[in-house]
Structures are given as structure tokens and as C-alpha cells.
């Protein structure tokens, strides 16, 4: 009888690239990876921060973590990053598509239109700037598609590999004000299913996590009140709609991430796991 306890030990020594890995959530995910011995390349458009985060985590966990410059919207930049990762760490076995986010330029000022906003179209859907909209949509959708195209080719050769996409609560039910981000994250769930099916017979699994609400750079301006430092009415609404009654801590993402990356979940592909304190289960009453 095999009495070996289930563990994430299979991940030790594997090579992972995480895009946007220098961000708030990415940093905590990298720490989770480092804790089980994964070798990580933090591929971020901001090389300076990627290097800094990599050095800090490498020291803290005595792990192999490097910073790499990459723009998830530029295939040539991704190919260059891949060559550098292959040279420094070896073939890529795990990809986490972490780059993404919203931007004020793709955000409406009002949540819902009423009679008073009919005369102020600039505050509504009608005033959205298409360049802002396009940028947010591209960063979240194309910024997942292109790295998947470039960084999974070693996995094809090995006939084994795993991809993790980062979705959002907005993918199930769009939040007011952020139509580009919501639509793009819905497209991530759809793409996760599509590519999981496409790659299922060549040994590559693709799943996603859908984080609930965490206070980070991209949403700070929406959920905190600049003057008081407390929650904005929107931030309070989120807490009220999260059955656990709080925002998440970025480290809450580590467990589900390791589960989906490890062989422990070797028969799991094409799913999205919400990590949300119950938000997606709650009907609001
Ligand atoms: P963040 O803004 O802290 O980090 C994003 C990182 O991506 C940054 O390091 C940035 O330099 C990098 N980046 C931006 N554009 C890039 C590009 N073109 N190429 C390469 N790197 C680029 O964001 P975060 O809050 O850590 O979010 C990480 C992921 O989680 C995103 O996909 C986000 O949409 C998603 N998410 C966040 C929350 C939340 O509450 N913060 C909730 C659900 C989902």
C-alpha cells in the first residue's frame, strides 16, 4: 500500500514564469511558489520592481527567483523573455498569467444612469474613451492569450505542463463602472475553458482562479476614501456583500494556486476557482 501523504512536493524544482508577478497579488503568489521550491521567473513590464521582488523573495525563502523584463502585449518581447528564462532556469513547466488590471480611463463616473446624468454623458457609458477601453481589454485578454502562445511551447515538447489564469469576480457578475475590465475577465473564463479543451490531449492543463476583493493598486482609488482612509461607499458595499465580512489577504490565493499547479489536481482542467470569502455564493439578502 502506498502510504505517502499527499503533498505539493512534485512542484519542487519546477520552472514557472509568472507575468505581472511583481504586483501585489503576484508577489504573494510567488512567495507561495517559493515556499515549495518552485524556480520562478517574474516576468513584468517593470523590470526594476521585478528584480527587487525577486531578490527579496529569493533571500527570504532561499529560493531561485529571477526578474525578467516582458511586455505581455508584445510577442517579440515575450519570445526574448522566454529565451532568457530557458537560458537561466531551463524549460518552462508552469505559466501563471498574472498581468492584468483596470484603469481609471476605462471607468464610468456614475454607477447607474438616472435623469440627472442624461445631461452629463461624460460621466456615463456614453463618455467612455475607447483608447482606455481598448487598453484595459487588451491587457487582460490579449495579455493572457499571447504569453500562453509563447510560454507553453516547452510544455508541448515535454507533453506536460500547467497554466493558471487570473480571472475575477467581475467575470461572473460585472461590477458597475468597469465594463472593459468585466468583459475582459469574462473572456478569461471562456478562454480558460477553450484552451483547456484544445490542449487536453497534449498533457497541458489550464485552469483559473477568480479572486474576490483585495485592496491593491488598481482598485485603491475605488474602494478607499482618500480623505478619511476608511472605506468608500463602494468599498463598504463590497464588504457588506462578502459573507466573511472583509477584504481578502493576498496570501489567501496561495493554497488554491498550489493545488491547481500540482499533480495533486492532475485530472482537473478548464475550471475557475473563486477565492472570495463567499461573495459569489451570496444573493445579497
Ligand atoms: P498590480 O497592479 O499590483 O500588478 C500588476 C502587475 O502587472 C504589475 O507589476 C505591472 O507592472 C504588471 N504589468 C502591467 N502591465 C503589464 C504588461 N503589459 N506586461 C507585463 N506586466 C505588466 O495588480 P494585482 O492587484 O496584483 O492584480 C494581479 C491580477 O489579479 C490581475 O490580473 C488582476 O486583474 C487580478 N485581480 C485582482 C484583484 C484585486 O482585488 N486586486 C481581484 C481580482 C483579480
pLDDT tens, position by position, 201-212: 999 999 999 999
**Residue 46, ligand 1, Cβ within 6 A:** yes
**Residue 68, ligand 1, Cβ within 6 A:** no
Cβ–Cβ under 8 Å, residues 23 and 217: yes
DSSP E strand stretches across 171-222: 204-211
Quote the CA–CA distance of 268 and 215 in Å, as a whole number: 30
Q: Could you tell me which residue, 20 or 224, shows the higher pLDDT?
A: 20
Distance from the alpha carbon of residue 218 to the mean position of ligand 1, in angstroms:
8
Helices within 44-142 (DSSP H only): 47-61, 75-89, 115-118, 130-137
pLDDT band at 2 (very low <50, low <70, confident <90, very high): low
Quote the CA–CA distance of 47 and 42 in Å, as a whole number: 9
Strand partners, 69: 44
- Quote the cell numbers at residue 220: 485603491
Quote the CA–CA distance of 256 and 264 in Å, as a whole number: 11
Q: Which of 61, 126, 172, 181 is catalytic?
A: 181
Q: What is the pLDDT of residue 220?
A: 81
pLDDT tens, position by position, 103-146: 989 999 999 999 999 999 999 999 999 999 999 999 999 999 99
Strand partners, 94: 16, 162
pLDDT tens, position by position, 26-69: 999 999 999 999 999 999 999 999 999 999 999 999 999 999 99
DSSP string, 253-266: GHHHHHHHHSGGGT
Task: Look over the chain and give the mean of its residue pLDDT values, rounded to a whole number.
Answer: 95
What percent of the chain has pLDDT above 70? 99
**How far is the first Cα of the chain from the last one, in angstroms, to the nearest whole number?**
49
Q: Is pLDDT at 221 greater than 90 in this prediction? A: no
The pTM is what? 0.96
Q: Could you tell me which residue, 97 or 226, shows the higher pLDDT?
A: 97
Helices within the chain (DSSP H only): 24-35, 47-61, 75-89, 115-118, 130-137, 143-151, 153-158, 179-199, 220-223, 233-240, 254-261
Quote the CA–CA distance of 113 and 118 in Å, as a whole number: 7
Q: Is pLDDT at 225 greater than 90 in this prediction? A: no
DSSP element (H, E) containing 94: strand 94-97
Q: Is pLDDT at 18 greater than 80 in this prediction? A: yes
Quote the CA–CA distance of 55 and 67 in Å, as a whole number: 8
SS3 24: helix
- Region 226-251: what's the mean pLDDT? 91
pLDDT tens, position by position, 64-85: 999 999 999 999 999 999 999 9
Whether 181 sits among the annotated catalytic residues: the reply is yes
Distance from the alpha carbon of residue 166 to the mean position of ligand 1, in angstroms:
9
CA dihedral 124, 183, 147, 43 (to 10 degrees): 50
Among 149, 157, 199, 190, CA closest to 171: 190
Q: Is pLDDT at 222 greater than 70 in this prediction? A: yes
Among 145, 161, 154, CA closest to 195: 145
pLDDT band at 1 (very low <50, low <70, confident <90, very high): low
Which atom of ligand 1 is found nearest the CA of 247? Answer: 40
Q: Is pLDDT at 148 greater than 90 in this prediction? A: yes
User: Distance of alpha carbon 153 from its chain centroid, rounded?
Assistant: 21
Indicate the DSSP class of residue 4: P
pLDDT tens, position by position, 155-203: 999 999 999 999 999 999 999 999 999 999 999 999 999 999 999 999 9
Nearest CA to ligand 1 atom 25: 216
Amino acid at each position: 500500500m502506498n502510504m505517502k501523504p499527499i503533498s505539493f512536493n512534485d512542484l519542487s524544482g519546477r520552472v514557472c514564469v509568472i507575468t505581472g508577478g511583481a504586483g501585489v497579488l503576484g508577489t504573494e503568489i510567488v512567495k507561495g511558489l517559493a515556499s515549495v521550491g518552485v524556480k520562478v521567473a517574474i516576468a513584468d513590464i517593470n523590470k526594476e520592481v521585478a528584480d527587487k521582488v525577486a531578490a527579496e523573495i529569493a533571500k527570504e525563502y532561499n529560493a531561485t527567483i529571477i526578474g525578467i523584463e516582458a511586455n505581455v502585449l508584445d510577442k517579440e518581447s515575450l519570445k526574448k523573455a522566454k529565451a532568457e528564462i530557458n537560458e537561466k532556469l531551463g524549460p518552462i513547466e508552469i505559466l501563471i498569467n498574472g498581468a492584468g488590471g483596470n484603469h481609471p480611463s476605462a471607468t464610468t463616473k456614475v454607477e447607474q444612469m438616472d435623469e440627472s446624468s442624461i445631461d452629463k454623458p461624460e460621466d456615463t457609458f456614453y463618455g467612455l474613451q475607447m483608447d482606455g477601453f481598448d487598453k484595459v481589454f487588451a491587457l487582460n485578454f490579449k495579455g493572457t492569450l499571447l504569453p500562453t502562445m509563447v510560454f507553453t511551447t516547452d510544455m508541448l515538447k515535454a507533453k506536460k505542463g500547467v497554466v493558471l489564469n487570473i480571472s475575477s469576480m467581475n467575470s461572473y457578475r460585472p461590477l458597475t463602472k468597469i465594463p472593459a475590465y468585466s468583459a475582459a475577465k469574462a473572456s478569461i473564463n471562456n478562454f480558460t475553458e477553450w484552451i483547456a479543451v484544445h490542449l487536453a490531449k497534449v498533457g497541458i492543463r489550464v485552469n483559473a482562479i477568480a479572486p474576490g476583493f483585495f485592496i491593491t493598486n488598481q482598485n485603491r482609488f475605488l474602494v478607499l476614501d482618500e480623505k478619511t482612509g476608511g472605506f468608500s461607499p463602494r468599498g463598504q458595499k463590497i464588504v457588506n456583500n462578502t459573507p466573511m465580512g472583509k477584504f481578502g489577504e493576498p496570501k489567501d490565493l496561495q493554497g488554491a494556486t498550489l493545488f491547481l499547479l500540482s499533480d495533486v489536481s492532475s485530472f482537473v482542467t478548464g475550471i475557475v476557482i473563486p477565492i472570495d470569502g463567499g461573495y459569489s455564493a451570496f444573493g445579497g439578502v
